[in-house]
Structure formats: structure tokens, C-alpha cells
């Protein structure tokens, strides 16, 4: 570890850490923006195909990130169907890939949180004079801690995954480069491959600290709600 | 005129079927019967929380969504919202277009809950939650109040407080329907008693008549305390 503090460029570590936060934060925000309304819809409204959709999201919860990464790589590769978007080896590409990965988490946790409170809270609100729309709003507000949890879980899963960040991001790093895509997980993987275990450990600890810090802050928010 | 009129109302769950006709007037009506007799289902139909076959008239009009604002119900298993006890009351009041903290506190005091007004509602004891559910219903102005086993979780002192509140509501001209399996409570509190058994209305009449001169054998057994169905 002595050589570590000598060799490690803390500026680069900060850059990689901030990129991890930015890329995965955006993925969690996008997944929450889409996933929360979908979760609400799946939990509160009966429509044809509802159970099928729920089972798809539940199945996608366990999809290996490398499989998702490979699938997205084929889609975004220059000769792939979405190659014209130019998202391969970009931060935005990683964010969108991670968004797809964590979307089922947001949908499933949101839907479950609402289902746990929905019937009794909905009926209670109705008996107190709420309109059906007001009762739905009350159900969602009662499920808010669970919905916040879905966003925390989404961020934590996104920031800690490797497959998509590596295959879509490519671990690109150039000093002072504007198109870098290296994030904490890809950097850890690279340093382990090079045998620089001490650097990998430091980066691993930083990744864990990020996850703990975000979870702690969000838990405070959850309690406050 | 009857406040609530049910004509050939049927709710069929397959294994259980409620089927009855009855009229409910102002004052306190107790729906008496053992567990599984259909008391809760009947209250839920009156509260417009259940679909059903048959006809339901509310103050002479065919009951519909718009009448929901005239009815409130307190469930047997009390449900509370997140937030404090006071928040729970203020939410109910806000739906009535009223956000008077003073009114909320006045009702909490009536039900011995003022001391826990700032406590998280989820952390209350079962009895406190039940009183909170009743307080929330009392906070809003309704024509009909439905109570499902309102004192089942309460000690004698708090049960008596709740019964007094129910009597006061009736005195102010409201229509109260209480589902209970407690024959003593029905006798103490109600003006009329409807005895339900296996989803059927077995007997319906003045409380005195039902308890002193029941016409049906099942009613006789139940009100004498001999029946265990």
C-alpha cells in the first residue's frame, strides 16, 4: 500500500469517481423517470397483458450484466441497427445501457411497494371522501419510501455493474481527454488484470464508500418522508 | 323516509352469498351476527366499496359515486396513514375542505388521543389505532357513519368513550350502522337490530323487540348468548 499512495494519481481517481456518479446517477434518474410511472400503472390498473409485463420485468431483474452488455453492444456497434446514434464508447451509451439494466428494479420495487399499501389505503381514502384520483395520489404518497428505495437500489446496481460499462464504455482513458469513459468498476477490472491489486483495492473501497454514502443519504430522505 | 334502502341486494363470492333487502333509518342500527354472517360485506356495500346485484337507494336516489361523499366507514382492522396522528386527522379534514388544527385536536381530545397527537400513527397500539380510525371518521361531516366492530380492540374505558361519541352522533341526527357480534353492545347502543346469519337477514326490528321477544329461533339463541355458529 506504500507504493500505492506514491503511484496513485488522485486527480484521475477523482475524475473516474465523478464519472461513475454522473453516469450511474443519470441511469438511475432515467430509470426512475420511466420505471416509477410504469410501476404505478402495473400495480394500480388492470389491463390486458399486465401480468405478462410484470413477469417480463421480474425476469429481467436477474439478467447478467455481461449478457445485457453484449446485447447492447450488438445494437450500438457501428454496423448494428442503432450504430448511427454514435453511442458506443460514450458516457451516454453507458448511462442508457445501465438505465435498461436497472429499469426492472425500479418497476418491480415500485409496483410491490404500491401493492403492499394499495387496497386498504385506497379504500380508506375513498371512505374519507377522496375522489378516485385523490385516492390514487394518496396510495402513491404512502408508498413513497418504497419508491425512493427503488431509486437507491437502481443507482447502487448501476454504479457497481461492470459488463455494460466495459462493453459499451470500453474503459477509454486519455490524459485530459474529453471522451473518456473509464469508471470505477472498469478501472478496478483493469488494475486487477495488470496485477495492481493495491490500486484496485483503493478504488474498490472508494466504490463501496460511494454506495454506502448514497444509501445513507437516501435512507435519511426516506425517513424524512 | 329511509336513509338507506336495499332491495334484493346480492353479493355472491361463490362460497358465501349475501342476499337481503332492508331499510335503514336515522339513529343507530346494529348489524348483529356471528363471524362470517355477512356484516362486513353489508357495510362495504352500503359504503359503495363493493359491486353487487340489486337496488340500493340513498335518501330516495339510486346510490352512485356521488353519494360516497355522504358516507364514511371505519374498518374493523384499523388502517392508518404514514405521518403523525394529527396528520391523519388533518388529511381527513382536508378532503372536507377544512384544515382546522383546532377541530382535529378537539376530536383527538374527545377520544383520549391528544397526548399522542405528534406520535407516528404506525407506532400506535392496536387500541389507539382503532380510536384514531374512529376519530378520523368523526372529524368529517357525513350523513351516514358505518362502524365495523368499533370497539373490538378497546378496553372498557375507551370502548365507553367510543360508544358515547357514537350516541352523540346519533343525537345530532346522523345515521349510524354498527356491525358487531357483541350482543351487549347492540342492546346498549342501538335503536334497531338486524340479525344476520349465513348472509341472510333473519330478523330486523326494534332493539327491545329483538332482545325481549325475538320471533326467530336463531335470533333467540343468538341474543340469549346460547348460540355458537
Would you say residue B161 has pLDDT above 70? yes
Quick check: B218 and B202 in contact, CB under 8 A?
yes
Question: Domains of chain A: which residue ranges?
Answer: 2-224
Q: What element of type H or E holds A95?
A: helix A91-127
Query: What is the pLDDT, as a whole number, of residue A6?
Result: 54
Say whether B81 and A134 touch across the interface (CB within 8 A): no
**Does A7 lie at the interface with B, CB-CB under 8 angstroms?**
no
Q: How far apart are CA A203 and CA B182, in angstroms?
A: 67
The whole-angstrom distance between B29's CA and the closest CA on chain A is 19
Per-residue pLDDT tens for B92-143? Answer: 999 988 878 999 999 999 999 999 999 999 999 999 999 999 999 999 999 9
Query: What is the pLDDT, as a whole number, of residue B1?
Result: 79
User: pTM for this one?
Assistant: 0.82
Say whether B68 and A120 touch across the interface (CB within 8 A): no
pLDDT confidence band for B205 (50 / 70 / 90)? very high
Question: Domains of chain B: which residue ranges?
Answer: 4-33+45-224
Say whether A120 and B81 touch across the interface (CB within 8 A): no
Query: What is the pLDDT, as a whole number, of residue A1?
Result: 41
Closest CA to A160 of A24, A27, A35: A24
Instruction: Give the CATH fold of the B4-33+45-224 domain.
Output: Rossmann fold (3.40.50)
Per-residue pLDDT tens for A137-146? Answer: 999 999 999 9
Would you say residue B229 has pLDDT above 60? no
Would you say residue A30 has pLDDT above 70? yes
User: What's phi and psi for B119, nearest 5 deg?
Assistant: -80, 150
The ipTM estimated for the assembled molecules is 0.90
Average pLDDT over residues A70-96: 95
Average pLDDT over residues B151-158: 90
Would you say residue A2 has pLDDT above 50? no
- Mean pLDDT over the full length of chain B: 94
- Mean pLDDT over the full length of chain A: 92
Contacts of A142 in chain B (CB under 8 A): 81-82
The whole-angstrom distance between A114's CA and the closest CA on chain B is 13
**Residue in B with minimal Cα distance to A127:** B72
Picking from B40, B65, B95 by the largest number of A CB atoms within 10 A of its own CB, the best residue to mutate is: B95
Per-residue pLDDT tens for B71-104? Answer: 999 999 999 999 999 999 999 999 988 878 999 9
Average pLDDT over residues B142-165: 93
Cell representation of residue B142: 357525513
Query: What is the pLDDT, as a whole number, of residue A71?
Result: 93
Would you say residue A155 has pLDDT above 80? yes
Average pLDDT over residues A108-118: 91
Average pLDDT over residues A157-178: 93
**Does A139 lie at the interface with B, CB-CB under 8 angstroms?**
no
The whole-angstrom distance between B74's CA and the closest CA on chain A is 8
Q: What element of type H or E holds B9?
A: strand B4-12
End-to-end Cα spacing for chain B? 35
Say whether B82 and A142 touch across the interface (CB within 8 A): yes
Per-residue pLDDT tens for A189-214? Answer: 999 999 999 999 999 999 999 999 98
Query: What is the pLDDT, as a whole number, of residue A4?
Result: 47
Q: How far from B29 is each of A151, B42, B61, B134, B198, CA to CA, in Å? A: 49, 13, 21, 17, 19
Task: Name residues 72-131 of chain B within 8 A of A (Cβ).
Answer: 72-75, 77, 79, 81-82, 91-92, 95-96
pLDDT confidence band for B212 (50 / 70 / 90)? very high
Would you say residue A32 has pLDDT above 60? yes
CA torsion through residues B85, B91, A41, B64, sign = positive
Q: How far apart are CA B25 and CA B177, in angstroms?
A: 10
Superfamily (CATH H level) for A2-224:
MetI-like (1.10.3720.10)
Say whether B69 and A126 touch across the interface (CB within 8 A): no
Picking from A117, A123, A126, A127 by the largest number of B CB atoms within 10 A of its own CB, the best residue to mutate is: A127
Rg (CA), chain A: 20
Say whether A126 and B49 touch across the interface (CB within 8 A): yes
Average pLDDT over residues A48-74: 92
Say whether B95 and A128 touch across the interface (CB within 8 A): yes
Quick check: B42 and B52 in contact, CB under 8 A?
no
Amino acid at each position: 500500500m506504500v507504493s500505492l499512495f506514491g503511484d496513485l494519481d488522485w486527480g484521475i481517481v477523482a475524475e473516474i469517481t465523478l464519472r461513475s456518479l454522473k453516469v450511474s446517477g443519470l441511469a438511475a434518474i432515467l430509470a426512475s423517470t420511466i420505471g416509477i410511472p410504469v410501476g404505478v400503472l402495473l400495480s394500480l390498473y388492470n389491463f390486458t397483458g399486465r401480468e405478462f409485463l410484470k413477469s417480463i420485468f421480474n425476469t429481467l431483474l436477474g439478467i447478467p450484466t455481461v449478457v445485457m452488455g453484449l446485447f447492447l453492444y450488438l445494437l450500438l456497434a457501428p454496423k448494428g441497427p442503432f450504430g448511427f446514434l454514435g453511442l458506443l464508447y460514450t458516457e451516454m451509451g453507458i448511462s442508457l445501457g445501465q438505465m435498461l439494466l436497472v429499469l426492472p428494479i425500479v418497476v418491480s420495487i415500485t409496483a410491490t411497494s404500491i401493492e403492499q399499501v394499495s387496497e386498504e389505503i385506497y379504500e380508506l381514502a375513498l371512505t374519507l371522501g377522496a375522489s378516485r384520483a385523490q385516492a390514487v395520489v394518496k396510495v402513491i404518497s404512502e408508498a413513497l419510501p418504497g419508491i425512493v428505495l427503488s431509486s437507491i437500489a437502481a443507482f447502487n446496481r448501476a454504479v457497481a455493474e461492470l459488463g455494460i460499462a466495459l462493453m459499451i464504455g470500453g474503459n477509454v482513458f486519455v490524459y485530459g481527454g474529453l471522451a473518456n469513459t473509464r469508471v470505477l468498476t472498469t478501472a478496478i477490472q483493469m488494475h486487477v488484470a495488470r496485477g495492481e491489486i493495491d490500486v484496485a483495492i483503493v478504488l474498490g473501497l472508494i466504490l463501496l464508500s460511494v454506495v454506502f454514502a448514497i444509501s445513507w443519504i437516501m435512507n435519511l430522505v426516506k425517513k424524512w418522508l | 323516509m329511509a336513509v338507506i334502502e336495499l332491495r334484493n341486494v346480492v353479493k355472491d363470492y361463490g362460497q358465501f352469498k349475501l342476499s337481503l333487502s332492508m331499510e335503514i333509518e336515522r339513529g343507530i342500527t346494529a348489524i348483529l351476527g356471528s363471524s362470517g354472517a355477512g356484516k362486513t360485506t353489508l357495510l362495504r356495500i352500503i359504503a359503495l366499496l363493493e359491486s353487487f346485484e340489486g337496488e340500493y337507494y340513498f335518501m330516495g336516489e339510486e346510490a352512485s359515486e356521488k353519494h360516497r361523499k355522504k358516507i364514511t366507514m371505519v374498518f374493523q382492522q384499523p388502517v392508518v396513514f404514514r405521518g403523525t396522528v394529527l396528520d391523519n386527522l388533518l388529511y381527513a379534514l382536508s378532503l372536507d375542505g377544512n384544515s382546522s388544527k383546532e377541530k382535529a385536536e378537539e376530536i383527538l381530545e374527545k377520544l383520549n388521543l391528544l397526548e399522542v397527537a405528534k406520535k407516528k400513527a404506525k407506532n400506535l397500539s392496536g387500541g389507539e389505532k382503532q380510536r384514531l380510525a374512529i376519530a378520523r371518521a368523526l372529524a368529517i361531516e357525513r350523513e351516514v357513519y358505518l362502524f365495523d366492530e368499533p370497539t373490538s380492540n378497546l378496553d372498557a374505558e375507551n370502548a365507553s368513550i367510543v360508544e358515547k361519541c357514537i350516541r352523540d352522533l346519533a343525537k345530532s341526527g346522523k345515521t349510524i350502522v354498527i356491525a358487531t357480534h357483541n350482543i351487549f353492545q347492540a342492546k346498549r347502543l342501538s335503536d334497531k337490530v338486524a340479525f344476520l346469519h349465513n348472509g341472510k337477514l333473519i330478523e330486523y326490528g326494534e332493539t327491545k323487540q329483538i332482545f325481549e321477544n325475538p320471533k326467530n329461533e336463531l335470533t333467540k339463541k343468538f341474543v340469549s348468548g346460547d348460540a355458537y355458529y
